[in-house]
């Protein structure tokens, strides 16, 4: 799917899709002419990204959560631990980028 199709189907701007790519939240293959080509799953992923943003998660946290979504494994962290004012208890999870970095914020 081309960038305009994804934007229209997901209800976001083309600029938003480019931003998601810059933030490593979304990937697209490039044609020899440099045009972006997204997989059929891109629309659902953009909608998920939008929901995570609407929930108040910053790009950094969304980037850390997406691998857990992709692997089907939930992180074992307290969700409140991602906000500076809350404390978090955590245990190691092999597919969680938060565990890999040792960060909960």
8 and 51 belong to one structural domain? yes
Higher pLDDT, residue 41 or 102: 41
- Residues 18 and 66 placed together within one structural domain of the fold: no
Q: Report, in angstroms and rounded to the nearest whole number, the Rg of the chain calculated over CA atoms.
A: 15
Report the chain's mean pLDDT, rounded to a whole number: 79
1 and 50 co-located in one domain: yes
Q: How far apart are CA 27 and CA 100, in angstroms?
A: 22
| Distance from C-alpha of 66 to C-alpha of 51, rounded to nearest angstrom | 12
pTM for the complete prediction? 0.70
User: What is the mean pLDDT of the segment spanning 75-91?
Assistant: 48
CB atoms closer than 10 angstroms to residue 31: 10
Q: Output the domain CATH number for residue 44.
A: 1.10.1660.10
Domain count, the chain: 2
Pair (36, 70) in one structural domain: no
Same structural domain for residues 81 and 103?
yes
- How far apart (Å, rounded) are the C-alpha atoms in residues 97 and 82? 13
- Mean pLDDT across 80-87: 46
Question: In the structure, what pLDDT confidence band is assigned to residue 10 with cuts at 50, 70 and 90?
Answer: very high
Contact 48, 77 (CB under 8 A): no
Question: Can you give the residue range of the structural domain that contains 41?
Answer: 1-55
- 48 and 4 in one domain? yes
Residue with tokens 């081309």: 2
Which residue did the predictor score with more confidence, 99 or 67?
A: 67
Higher model confidence: residue 82 or residue 38? 38
pLDDT tens per residue, range 39-66: 999 999 999 999 999 999 998 899 988 9
Same domain? 13 vs 47: yes
């Amino acid at each position: 799917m081309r960038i305009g199709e994804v934007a229209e189907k997901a209800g976001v701007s083309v600029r938003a899709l480019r931003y998601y790519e810059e933030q490593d939240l979304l990937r697209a293959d490039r044609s020899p002419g440099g045009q972006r080509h997204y997989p059929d799953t891109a629309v659902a992923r953009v909608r998920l990204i939008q929901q995570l943003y609407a929930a108040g998660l910053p790009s950094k946290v969304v980037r850390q959560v997406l691998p857990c979504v992709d692997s089907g494994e939930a992180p074992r962290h307290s969700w409140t631990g991602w906000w500076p004012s809350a404390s978090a208890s955590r245990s190691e999870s092999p597919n969680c980028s938060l565990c890999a970095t040792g960060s909960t914020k």
